[in-house]
Amino acid sequence: MNYLVDTQVLIWSFFEPEKIRPAVREVFRAQEGHVFYSPISLWEISIKYGLGKLNLSYCRTPESFSHDLEVSPFVYKALERNVIITSHRLPRLHGDPFDRLLIWDAISSGFTLVSEDSRFTQYRRYGLLLL
Confidence of residue 99 (pLDDT cuts 50, 70, 90): very high
Q: CA dihedral in degrees (5, 9, 13, 14; nearest 10)? A: 100
Per-residue pLDDT reduced to its tens digit, 18-65:
999 998 988 888 876 699 999 999 999 999 998 988 877 766 788 888
Domain CATH code at residue 80: 3.40.50.1010
The answer to whether 112 and 9 are in contact (CB under 8 A) is no
User: Domain containing 124: what range?
Assistant: 3-130
Position 63 scores a pLDDT of 86
User: What is the count of structural domains for the chain?
Assistant: 1
Between CA 19 and CA 21 the distance in angstroms is: 6
